[in-house]
A and B are shown apart, each in its own frame.
Chain A
């Protein structure tokens, strides 16, 4: 009865892979451990024990349900690592460790899982973080859409960093590190039902190189935010509300790639509300704007960084100065414009 079945006899995930028995162990040892290999993970314990430095730490958690799992420019694995890394980076933290939870639908091709895990490892290496704990569950076919991933992470916050949405203040500028709307449109193009093609690839990327360069060189960064779900409009509305300030955007200055604009026109979407996974909004005093732009533009992810607006005293809302010279309120949408975008 101890005769083991070679793992490769399975080409897809079975319910048994989530049962906690031998199949689960083999999935962990043959798929997850080799990819995420590091001494902390190798403790092979119920959890992971590690030393911490004195000071402040940041913690963040995020779940990923993107559909489809693979899209131009990335897959759910890249998103799951970069998403949590970026949330930590936007707290001003240097990301250190991640955990990864997998909810897998019975029948997911093993090759797909391996591709996702390999992407997670590469994204973790690029972001210089380690995946130190994890979990796997398998649900019956039809009970989830292929694969959901949950990641949580912690990072160290430098002593002098004080980054928070409520710190946006009158006289600050709003800097956007790159072209908006790319991730959302890339995902849409990969959905069969839409039947349009674009050369756009998701901009999913870790942003902590950008944030750490800013924090190392600029004394007083007030807010950092990666405008994912709900896009730039929703992120800035949240900041306006947290800090009780008025944000004025210049439509002309917002980096909007032609393919994003064309797709958004066709689909009736407003690019300001489309999800991004590789751009950063930075809010800081105007006196630092020039150096912040230079710092961001020195990174490939920040090449197209631009000042897109400024902060004023006034009602806690976001106003857009349109191309025609008028201005309009940019509201928070009532629901999700595009479901399951990350």
Chain B
């Protein structure tokens, strides 16, 4: 199959692995911030193909995992309202709130639907005019245009019963939060190819300059990832920083201007609340006031009231009290195996920390593939 087999080739992967071994003369720590890349690294056991000095750190790249607990609680409460139909991606169903999850809410009678596309939620709004259809929309820059396109479609069709409960995150502010930490242990970054296919690569230039780190845009197949790592290590060995695109078949330098315009028109920056990490300034996006009628947080006032009281009390104490290292792991300070709960009290069936929640979370990825 074109564009898959070539990038999973044992021969090419072997060549790149040997090239990395020849290039690396000292230990380097490289972080990716993308659940898809984390998943591929675990699935193909790429760390086994690297020399021992090269450590891969796995940043907060899974939007399911970093969606704040209070928002999951809000979604559960919303779904339980009479007349509300709450739809979301399958991954969100298992994410634990403070007391329950959407699977349990559904079993207790809430109208919760698992969908593959937000456009299906627009269809539900059209076919269920008697219901308030809320799509629990999560994602990084990659997914946002899909949600916004669905909202545009709902508006075009005059569906006043459609709204989005948004949990949108931006990658560059998370990178900055990690880099600005005095204990930062990251030498270089792989940037997520699909995020960059929307945003372009310019947003990473100031970060690379200010913190003097190489940022290499990489794809998701094993050969793509090994190539990205090789380029990053070449730059580290040469003492070069800056942004390099190692995924040119999908990422134009300027990204996708149409999607960028759509995001500018419909979204405005706001403070982001990252599960397991905490608050990061201007790291999230919400619907602009012009689209406020379609923002579930404005339409259902109790969501924000509840959020305001929960924000300071729920997440941090819960993880800290449990001794969970989620935040440390997502900042690159610890590995999943360092955590006392990993594989014991904390498993995909009973996640304690955010990265165990979704298949793309780093702890879940390692739980599924390590003995």
- Using CB atoms and an 8 Å cutoff, list the residues of chain A in contact with chain B: 193-194, 258, 261-262, 265, 267-268, 315, 317, 319, 322-329, 331, 334-335
B41-65 contacts to A (CB < 8 Å): 42-46, 48-49
Are A329 and B371 in contact, CB atoms less than 8 angstroms apart?
yes
Are A324 and B44 in contact, CB atoms less than 8 angstroms apart?
yes
B367 lies within 8 A of chain A by Cβ: yes
| In-complex Cβ contact of A329 among B13, B14, B49, B368 (8 A) | B368
B133–chain A nearest beta-carbon distance, Å: 14
Q: Which 4 A-B pairs have the closest CB atoms?
A: A326-B45, A328-B369, A334-B349, A331-B368
Which B residues are CB-close (under 8 A) to A327? 45
Q: A317-B371, A327-B45 are in contact. List 7 more A-B contacts (CB 8 A).
A: A258-B1, A267-B116, A322-B44, A324-B45, A324-B46, A324-B49, A328-B42
A191–chain B nearest beta-carbon distance, Å: 10
Which A residues are CB-close (under 8 A) to B349? 334
* Complex: chain B residue closest to A265, CB-CB: B4
Please report the number of residue pairs spanning A and B whose Cβ atoms sit closer than 8 angstroms.
55
Central interface residue in B4, B14, B369, by most chain A CB within 10 Å: B369
Are A322 and B45 in contact, CB atoms less than 8 angstroms apart?
yes
Which B residues are CB-close (under 8 A) to A261? 1, 4
B202 lies within 8 A of chain A by Cβ: no
Which A residues are CB-close (under 8 A) to B367? 331
B128 lies within 8 A of chain A by Cβ: no
B210 lies within 8 A of chain A by Cβ: no
* Complex: chain B residue closest to A325, CB-CB: B10
B346-371 contacts to A (CB < 8 Å): 347-349, 359, 367-371
Expressed in whole angstroms, the Cα–Cα distance for A329 and B348 within the complex equals 15
Expressed in whole angstroms, the Cα–Cα distance for A258 and B368 within the complex equals 25
B120 lies within 8 A of chain A by Cβ: yes
B281-316: CB near A (< 8 Å → 1, else 0) gives 000000000000000000000000000000000000
Which B residues are CB-close (under 8 A) to A325? 10, 13-14
* Complex: chain A residue closest to B226, CB-CB: A324
- Using CB atoms and an 8 Å cutoff, list the residues of chain B in contact with chain A: 1, 4, 8, 10, 13-14, 42-46, 48-49, 94, 115-116, 120, 222, 347-349, 359, 367-371
B223–chain A nearest beta-carbon distance, Å: 9
Are B116 and A326 in contact, CB atoms less than 8 angstroms apart?
no
* Known contacts A262-B1, A335-B94; A326/B49 CB under 8 A: yes
**A-B contact list, 20 entries, CB within 8 Å:** A193-B120, A194-B116, A261-B1, A262-B1, A322-B43, A324-B8, A324-B10, A324-B46, A325-B14, A326-B44, A326-B45, A326-B49, A327-B45, A328-B42, A328-B369, A328-B370, A329-B370, A334-B94, A334-B347, A335-B94
Which B residues are CB-close (under 8 A) to A265? 4
Expressed in whole angstroms, the Cα–Cα distance for A327 and B13 within the complex equals 14
* Complex: chain A residue closest to B12, CB-CB: A324
Which B residues are CB-close (under 8 A) to A335? 94
Which A residues are CB-close (under 8 A) to B369? 328-329, 331
B222–chain A nearest beta-carbon distance, Å: 6
* Complex: chain A residue closest to B370, CB-CB: A329
Which A residues are CB-close (under 8 A) to B14? 325
B156–chain A nearest beta-carbon distance, Å: 19
Expressed in whole angstroms, the Cα–Cα distance for A282 and B248 within the complex equals 45
Which A residues are CB-close (under 8 A) to B222? 324
Central interface residue in A317, A324, A331, by most chain B CB within 10 Å: A324
Which A residues are CB-close (under 8 A) to B10? 323-325
Are B120 and A334 in contact, CB atoms less than 8 angstroms apart?
no
Are A315 and B371 in contact, CB atoms less than 8 angstroms apart?
yes
B230–chain A nearest beta-carbon distance, Å: 15
* Known contacts A193-B115, A193-B116, A267-B116; A326/B46 CB under 8 A: yes
Which A residues are CB-close (under 8 A) to B4? 261, 265
Expressed in whole angstroms, the Cα–Cα distance for A335 and B222 within the complex equals 27
Expressed in whole angstroms, the Cα–Cα distance for A193 and B115 within the complex equals 8
Expressed in whole angstroms, the Cα–Cα distance for A262 and B5 within the complex equals 12
B135–chain A nearest beta-carbon distance, Å: 14
Expressed in whole angstroms, the Cα–Cα distance for A237 and B197 within the complex equals 39
Central interface residue in B94, B116, B359, by most chain A CB within 10 Å: B116
Which A residues are CB-close (under 8 A) to B8? 323-324
* Complex: chain B residue closest to A314, CB-CB: B371
Expressed in whole angstroms, the Cα–Cα distance for A322 and B13 within the complex equals 12
Which B residues are CB-close (under 8 A) to A326? 44-46, 48-49
Expressed in whole angstroms, the Cα–Cα distance for A326 and B45 within the complex equals 6
Which A residues are CB-close (under 8 A) to B44? 322, 324, 326, 328
* Complex: chain A residue closest to B14, CB-CB: A325
Which B residues are CB-close (under 8 A) to A268? 359
Expressed in whole angstroms, the Cα–Cα distance for A329 and B115 within the complex equals 29
